[in-house]
Structure 1
Amino acid sequence: MSEIIKQFDILCDAAMAAFNEELEISYEESLLNILKFVKKHPEYRADFIGRFKMILVSNDSPFEAVAFCMRELQWSEIKEFVVSRMNPSQDPRSEALRSVLTAYDDFWPDADIYAYYANT
């Protein structure tokens, strides 16, 4: 595993800790750190796609990180993956997946939750 992907995993772990209020930084700040990191390393896109997919199928990962990042990145590979996983009878996280899918719309209902997206 590359150092870049290890750092990505560390940032995701920090997001979970921030979500659980175990860190001094806010959850939104931790999500923004992930987004900035991914944007800084575009050559790792395929690796990040794999990691984002892992987050979406995991029961203990910050799935909001995917929606937050995809709101700006708009990666079709993640959108297609989400659509393919949205069968409610197969995946109890379908509602969470639906929130990721809405990040691709012109209007994102969750935008007002995050200061970063509040004025977009």
Structure 2
Amino acid sequence: MSEIIREFDMLCGVAMTAYDEESEISYETSLLRILNFVKCNLIYKKEFILKFENILMSSSSPFEVVAFCMRELQWPEIKDFVISNMDPSQDPRSEALRGVLTAYDEFWPDADLYKYYDANKQN
């Protein structure tokens, strides 16, 4: 496993801790660190895609990590993955997956939850 992927995993671990409000940094700050890290290491896009897919399929990972990143990145591979895995009758996370899809829309209803995206709406 590359050092970049280990760092990504560590950043996601920090986000999980912040999500559970057990961290000194805010959840949004931890999400922004992940987004910026991915943007600085796009050569690892395939690996990041696999990591994002694993987050979406995990029952213990907050899907917001993916939604937050995909709001800016708009990777079609993740959108296609979400669509192909939505099955409300089979998977209780389908509602969470639907929430990730909204990050691809022109208007993202969750943007106001994050200063980073709320401020960008005004630009």
**What's the TM-score, normalizing by structure 2?**
0.96
Whole-Å separation in 2 of the counterparts to 1:37 and 1:90: 34
User: Could you tell me how far 1:26 is from its partner in structure 2?
Assistant: 0.2
Distance 2:87 2:95 in 1: 10
In structure 1, C-alpha distance between the alignment counterparts of 2:61 and 2:6, rounded to whole Å: 15
Equivalent position amino acid for 1:19 in 2 = Y
2: distance between equivalents of 1:90 and 1:84? 13
Aligned partner of residue 104 in structure 2, secondary structure:
coil
Partner of 2:79: 79
Map of 1:2-81 to 2, 5 A cutoff?
2-81=2-81
Contact 1:82 1:97 in 2 (8 A): yes
Aligned equivalents of 1:101, 1:69: Cα separation in 2 = 12
Instruction: Report the TM-score when normalising by structure 1.
Output: 0.98
Q: Distance in 1 between matches of 2:118 and 2:7?
A: 28
Rounded Cα–Cα distance in structure 2 between residues aligned with 1:90 and 1:44: 32
Counterpart residue identity of residue 21, structure 1: E
2:29 partner amino acid: E
Where does the alignment leave 5 or more consecutive residues of structure 2 unmatched?
Answer: none
Which stretches of structure 1, 4 residues or more, deviate above 6 A after TM superposition? none
Corresponding pairs, count: 120
Deviation at 1:60, TM superposition (A): 1.0
Deviation at 1:62, TM superposition (A): 2.3
Other structure's SS at 1:118 match: helix
The separation in 1 between residues aligned to 2:3 and 2:60, in whole angstroms, is 22
CA RMSD of aligned residues (A): 0.6
1:18/1:26 contact within 8 Å kept: yes
Structure 1: 5+ residue runs without aligned partners? Answer: none
